[in-house]
Structure 1
Amino acid sequence: MSDKIDHPQLSQWLNDVGNSRDKIAFTHLFEFFAPKIQRIARGKFPNEAQANEVVQETMTNVWRKAHLFDTDKGAATTWVYTVMRNVTFDMLRKIKGNKEENISEDIWPTTESPSEEENEFNDHLENKQLLNVIEKLPEAQQQVVKGFYFMEMSQEQLAVHLNLPLGTIKSRLRLALAKLKVQLGENHD
């Protein structure tokens, strides 16, 4: 299935699923969104099973809630990615809750050397510094940087997601990266 499907077609499929439980339309939606959701979920969860669960749960919710989609309120891609984001947050909360139940693991000494812990701490500080600099970018550039690097969307997907021309996405990303390079210095990639 091509990434070049236009918004009206995606909206039509969502409306067909919502109005008449059209299984063929749902199949098209699944073929279009599942690989994208899978790729984003892989970046958020440590194992393939959890990434697959995000895909399944998201698409199940799309099937169940498609009647709530309103073309006048936004693009089909925005609606589906919002469903995915909610599923992701729910799963992360559930995982965090399970970790709190297994607190006994946290009280035992770890086998990691202090240097590994220091590296993780330094990485965390660098990530925090990077996020602080990104937050200083204009909103339009923040959206593109976060979508491209954190949500791992392609420039083409961002153009569809933000309903903007591809050239605009490329320009915003190039401007944002130039500003980030100046802010962070040459030693950051």
Structure 2
Amino acid sequence: MVAVARSQDHGAFAALFAHFAPKLKTYFRKFGMVDGEAEELAQETMILVWRKAPLFDPARSMASTWIYAIARNLRIDAFRRNGAHANEVSAAEPFQTQDDAPDAEMQLTTAAHQALLHKAMHLLPQEQAQVLQLCYFSDRSHSEVARDLGIPLGTVKGRLRLVMARLRRALEE
């Protein structure tokens, strides 16, 4: 990812594409998309990865996290284009097949991370927790949150940056 970001390395991108495109297609299919839709969104995700590669910062997140964030946003946009409301999009759970079922160790690790995250979220100042809740758990856009709370868009984004930094520090500790 770093080679793609720094020098638009075609070979590195081909390797990235070969690794992530099938995984992204599976990710989209878990949300009920048919093969054609899933493949199209996987390709659209990878196009955005190529275009936005200079924005990737390995100090802030892993490449997979960054790529799946792009994929998630595209999935939400696709649902909205098809007439779904925000609460339907956030309520949409992926279909889980027997092959995808997490093993016991993964479930314990996930539960431990969730407990740490839950604890860290309770330590946030109320205004930051509110913005986090609306943006990530109520699946509202930054503009919608700014309008609903009567605060500038930049304030919403600033609070989210502070939240993410605090949560990252709490989880790293």
The TM-score, its normalising length taken from structure 1, stands at 0.47
> CA separation in 2, counterparts of 1:52 and 1:80?
15
Q: Give percent identity, aligned residues only.
A: 33
Amino acid at match of 1:44: F
- Residues 42/148 of structure 1: CA separation in 2 closer, same or farther (3 Å cut): closer
State the match for 1:27 in structure 2: 14
* Mapping for residues 45-84 of structure 1, pairs under 5 Å: 45-84=32-71
Q: Is the 8 A contact 1:26 1:63 kept in 2?
A: yes
* Equivalent-residue separation in structure 1 for 2:110 and 2:6 (angstroms): 38
Q: Distance in 1 between matches of 2:34 and 2:59?
A: 37
Which one-letter code corresponds to 1:54 in the other structure? L
- 8 Å CA contact 1:62–1:80 kept in 2: the answer is yes
User: 5 Å matches for 1:103-122?
Assistant: none
In structure 2, distance between residues paired with 1:27 and 1:90: 26
Inter-CA distance 76–87: structure 2 relative to 1 (3 Å threshold): same
Could you tell me which residue of structure 1 aligns to residue 80 of structure 2? 93
Q: Distance in 1 between matches of 2:48 and 2:70?
A: 7
Q: Give the total of aligned pairs.
A: 105
Report the Cα offset of residue 94 of structure 1.
1.0
The aligned runs of 1:142-157 (5 Å cut-off) are 149=96, 155=102
Q: Kindly report the root-mean-square deviation, in angstroms, between the aligned alpha carbons of the 2 structures.
A: 3.4
Partner of 1:171: 108
Q: Which runs of 5+ in 1 are unaligned?
A: 1-13, 98-127, 132-145, 157-165, 176-189
- Which of the pair has more CA radius of gyration? 1
* SS at 1:55 equivalent: helix
What are the Cα deviations for residues 58-108 of structure 1, in whole angstroms up to 9, with x where unaligned? 0000000011110111111110100100111111111117xxxxxxxxxxx
Three-state SS of the structure 1 residue aligned to 2:59 is helix
Q: 1:154 to 1:63 in 2, by over 3 A?
A: farther
Native 8 Å contact 2:32 2:95 kept in 1: no
Contact kept in structure 1, 2:25 and 2:38, CA below 8 Å: yes
